[in-house]
C-alpha cells in the first residue's frame, strides 16, 4: 500500500508540474488576451482532468493511516498537504488570470464602444462643416454663419466629456496591458 501511495503521489506531482510551469509562463506572458484566454481554458481543463488522481491519492492515504506509525502518518499528511497546496495554488492562479483577462476584455470592449461613438460624432460633424461652405456677403449671412458656429462650438463642448471618457478608457486599457497580473 505504501508503494502504491508513493507511486500515486509521484504521478500526481508529475501531473501538476507542467501545469504549474504553464501557469507561470502565462502569468509573465504579454501576448494577446484572446491567446491567453484559450490557454487558460486549456489549462483549466487539464487541471480538472487531474482531479481523479487527487481523489485516488486521498483514498490511498486514508487506507494507509490505520496501519502506519505516527511519524509515517505525519509524513503522509505533509505530502497530502503539499499536493493540496499546489493544486489550490494552480486553481487560484488560473482564476486570477481568468479574472484579469475578463477585466481587460470588458475594458477593451468599453473603450471600443466609446471610441466608435466619438468617431461617428466626429464624422457627422466633419460632414456638417464641409456642407457649410456658404460665402458670407451680407450681414445676415454673417450672423447666420456665426450662430451656426456658436451652435457647433456648444456641441463640441458638450462632447468634451465623451472624448475625455475615451481617453480615460484608453489609458485604463493601456495600463492593464502594461502591468500584467503578478
Calculate the CA dihedral of residues 23, 25, 27, 28 and round it to 10 degrees: 170
pLDDT of residue 13: 94
Q: Which residues contact 23 (CB under 8 A, 6 or more apart)?
A: 43, 90, 93, 94, 97
Q: Residue 116's pLDDT band (boundaries 50, 70, 90)?
A: very high
Per-residue pLDDT for 100 more than 90? Answer: no
- Helix count (H) and strand count (E) of the chain? 6, 0
pLDDT in tens, 1-36: 788 889 999 999 999 999 999 999 888 877 667 778
Where in the chain are the domains? 2-178
Q: What is the pLDDT of residue 134?
A: 67
Between residues 181 and 66, the one the model is more confident about: 66
For domain 2-178, give the CATH number.
Answer: 1.20.58
Amino acid at each position: 500500500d505504501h508503494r502504491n501511495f508513493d507511486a500515486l503521489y509521484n504521478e500526481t506531482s508529475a501531473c501538476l508540474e507542467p501545469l504549474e510551469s504553464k501557469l507561470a509562463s502565462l502569468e509573465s506572458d504579454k501576448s494577446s488576451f484572446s491567446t491567453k484566454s484559450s490557454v487558460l481554458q486549456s489549462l483549466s481543463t487539464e487541471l480538472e482532468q487531474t482531479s481523479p488522481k487527487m481523489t485516488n491519492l486521498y483514498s490511498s492515504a486514508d487506507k494507509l493511516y490505520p496501519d502506519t506509525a505516527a511519524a509515517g502518518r505525519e509524513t503522509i499528511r505533509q505530502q497530502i498537504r503539499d499536493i493540496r497546496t499546489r493544486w489550490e495554488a494552480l486553481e487560484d492562479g488560473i482564476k486570477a488570470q481568468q479574472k484579469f483577462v475578463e477585466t481587460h476584455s470588458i475594458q477593451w470592449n468599453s473603450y471600443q464602444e466609446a471610441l466608435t461613438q466619438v468617431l461617428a460624432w466626429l464624422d457627422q460633424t466633419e460632414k456638417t462643416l464641409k456642407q457649410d461652405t456658404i460665402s458670407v456677403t451680407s450681414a445676415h449671412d454673417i450672423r447666420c454663419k456665426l450662430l451656426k458656429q456658436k451652435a457647433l462650438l456648444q456641441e463640441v463642448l458638450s462632447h468634451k466629456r465623451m472624448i475625455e471618457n475615451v481617453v480615460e478608457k484608453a489609458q485604463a486599457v493601456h495600463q492593464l496591458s502594461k502591468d500584467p497580473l503578478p
